[in-house]
A and B are shown apart, each in its own frame.
Chain A
Amino acid sequence: MAVSSEVGTPPARASFWNDPRIRAIIFQILILGGIILFGIYIVNNTLVNMESRGISSGFDFMGRTAGFDIGMTLIPYDEASSYGRAFFVSLLNTLLVSAIGIFFATILGFIVGIARLSNNWLVSKLAEVYIEIIRNIPLLLQIFFWYFAVLRALPSPRQSFELADTFFLNLRGLFVPKPIFEAGFSAILISFLIGLVAVVFIARWAKRRREATGQQFHTVYVSIGILVGLPFLAGLVTGFPLSWDYPALKGFNFQGGMTLIPELVALTIALSVYTASFIAEVVRSGIQAVSHGQTEAAGSLGLRPGPTLRLVIIPQALRVIIPPLTNQYLNLTKNSSLAAAIAYPDLVLVFAGTALMQTGQAVEIIAITMAVYLTISLVISAIMNWYNKKMALVER
């Protein structure tokens, strides 16, 4: 009161209904309430309609026996397992192809993106042609192309390509020996972990020493030595308790060993190649966003082109690259759901496909599937945001 009397008479207070702030709040409440009511109406209506048609609902089915088989499983699974187990099997398959896809797409994307900026005319044009062709063809067609290209080019199991009677390649997949860990193998594993911890400390120590004294330390060679040497020593002591299960042609197919199915290969190639073309453009734009003066400055300090790119340009470009790169990672993960077209047993094919069909519980299963993709995407986003913050802090 004292303050306002100094300024003068307070402005006439607007009536309750004409106060813009209160109005804004009222409208927001009305709209939010409307949306919530609409949501309740839809959910309720669905439940009533499903009830009246006798369509079963609820999540009890997750514990029931699935009764179908899955072509590729990372965890033990058979026909007698539950729908919940089938869900995890298919989820792991989705995560696997996404992770491998992101890995290769990133590497290929960075190579092509940098090649696109090369002074070499041929390299630059090749990269440009790659980008323009790949990113302008629908992904589904590319998946079909790779799948049938992979299938058509490979021989039947009986005429497999083989390498030293150990590795076999045919149109059923790539068959490799499977390691079997016997008693005592944990010693090798533990020594490797000890080596890993040691390497981390050495790297930190080397960095501190370099910053303090300027002396270099051959961290890489020492690390490799420790990581290989320690487990090798442990192996010598325990007598290498590891044997291999070799694949062998029995009846129709190769039995034993590990199999890389052609569906996984085709999907990984298609996703990586496709996403890499977008990542390449992201990388190119990121690098071009760094002022050319930086390159000239590095050159005048005597840095060669390689170290200039590695130490000066890319660290600055990364800040521009990471946000759109996150989008590409999310796209790749979501695009992996196209696996259903070529029989790769991912979440959409197995869970939102077979399981949905056999239980008929479309609403629950699609809701779970959507929630899973949402969660995966949010996790990737969170990781990339964290990395982005970390990179942004480097700038002083």
Chain B
Amino acid sequence: MQYKMLVAAAALAVGFALPASSATIDDVKAKGHVQCGVSQGLPGFSNPDQAGNWTGIDVDVCRAVAAAVFGDANKVKFTPLSAKERFTALQSGEVDVLSRNTTWTLTRDTALGLDFVGVNFYDGQGFMIRKDMGIDSATKLDGASVCVNIGTTTELNMADYFRANNMKYEPVVFEKADEVVAAYDAGRCDVYTTDRSGLAAQRVKLKDPSAHFVLPETISKEPLGPVVRHGDNQWGDVVRWSLITMIEAEEMGLNSGNVDDMRKTATNPAVKRVLGTEGDMGKVLGLGNDWSYNIIKQVGNYGEVYAKHVGPNTPIGLARGPNELWTNGGLMYPMPVR
């Protein structure tokens, strides 16, 4: 048996065994595009539009990285991944960066051999339920059947929450988000649980969205952000600062509309550094000095991206809440570019 397992492990190991060089940025430059792992369709975060182009705030993180590396936000290819597949895809080098509404946890940051480089959405887990069930609080969910996606922090949080509140429940676990929604819609479960942003996004897919609502309780912290492989710090820096630049640009009032003018007229040294007209910020990252300009020009600042994909004027309709800039009382706090 030991021998057979070894053989099986060896077969699986081929994926890991392929030489993945430590310098991802050289690989990326050599192949001419960023390979980005996204969800299989979560409106607002990563979802193909009618023309088949990927859109969403997770997608735009990858576009920002492409803009920083190549000066062209379209030099990115997307790999749709299920929650179950995502880490293996990143570990084995199938994707260069994973930007797939993924929660930053200690285990994932360490034992999985991954590095989280920042947070592009602060979220929390909630429960969705039919209005006609007459339930107004998650503490009254004793005995409920709960539909959930496999391989998520959601699955564990739910177990913790019900155990802590001494309630029973029946988990119904699906591999694909669409299957979870379909089963909930068919009435297999009383409750559908995932991140609150996910609930808002998936509600659009239900037969009668107005017949459902999200319970007030938020049972967990879900800081979602892009992930890279552990041990390649230069690539990690590129992704981290691409994300920070988007938030910093919003704080400085730079957006895709005014960035060209600001590049000519700006006098504030901090703004000039972000725009690459002063200092060598690009060079120390191993990029061109116009890296941040390209991000802001082609992708936009964080506020623009948020408003376009998940903001109150979209079908998702999420207020900024904790994702507001720190200057407006939110949690988005960009590290200084200097």
Contact = CB atoms under 8 A, between A and B. Distances in A.
B31 interface: no
Interface string B56-77: 0000000000000000000000
A374 interface: yes
Contacts of B5: 367-368, 370-371
Interface string B3-23: 011111111111011001000
B283 interface: no
A375 B2 CA distance: 12
Contact of B8 (A80, A341, A357, A366): A366
A363 B13 contact: yes
A53 B9 contact: no
B16 A49 contact: yes
Contact of A358 (B7, B156, B170): B156
Contact of A353 (B16, B150, B231): B150
A347 B236 CA distance: 35
A221 interface: no
Interface in A250-299: 250-253, 255, 262-263
B314 interface: no
A246 interface: no
Nearest to B183: A343
Given A68-B159, A70-B171, A343-B173, A360 B112 contact: yes
Interface in B1-48: 1, 4-14, 16-17, 20
A49 B17 contact: yes
Contacts of A357: 83-84, 87, 150-152
B60 to A, nearest CB: 26
Given A71-B171, A357-B87, A56 B186 contact: no
B132 to A, nearest CB: 10
Nearest to A56: B111
Contact of B187 (A55, A78, A156, A255): A156
A153 B143 CA distance: 23
Which of B13, B17, B142 is packed against the most chain A CB atoms within 10 Å? Answer: B13
B230 A363 contact: no
A: contact size bracket: 35 or more
B333 interface: no
B144 A252 contact: yes
A49 B152 CA distance: 25
B208 to A, nearest CB: 15
B107 interface: yes
B12 A366 contact: yes
B173 A349 contact: yes
Contacts of B83: 357
Interface in A67-110: 67-71, 78-80
B94 interface: no
Nearest to A41: B17
A346 to B, nearest CB: 11
A363 B183 contact: no
B218 interface: no
Contacts of B20: 49
B61 to A, nearest CB: 22
Interface in A341-377: 341-343, 345, 349-350, 353-354, 356-360, 362-364, 366-368, 370-371, 374-375
A143 to B, nearest CB: 12
A79 B12 CA distance: 29
A45 interface: yes
A193 interface: no
A252 B110 contact: no
A351 to B, nearest CB: 11
B179 interface: yes
A10 interface: no
Interface in A27-65: 39, 41-43, 45-46, 49-50, 52-56
Contacts of A349: 150, 173, 175
A148 B175 contact: no
Interface in B116-134: 133
Given A353-B151, A360-B87, A362-B88, A54 B13 contact: no
A80 to B, nearest CB: 8
A56 to B, nearest CB: 4
A172 B188 contact: yes
A303 interface: no
Contacts of A41: 17
B213 interface: no
Contacts of B54: none
Interface string B164-176: 0000011111110
A86 B186 CA distance: 28
Nearest to B109: A54
A152 interface: yes
A134 interface: no
A151 interface: yes
Q: Please name the 8 residue pairs, one residue from A and one from B, whose CB atoms are nearest each other, closest first.
A: A357-B151, A55-B113, A46-B13, A360-B112, A53-B113, A367-B9, A370-B8, A45-B17
Interface of A: 39, 41-43, 45-46, 49-50, 52-56, 67-71, 78-80, 148, 151-152, 156, 171-172, 250-253, 255, 262-263, 340-343, 345, 349-350, 353-354, 356-360, 362-364, 366-368, 370-371, 374-375
12 contacts: A39-B7, A42-B17, A55-B113, A67-B156, A171-B186, A172-B145, A255-B143, A343-B174, A349-B150, A357-B83, A358-B107, A364-B9
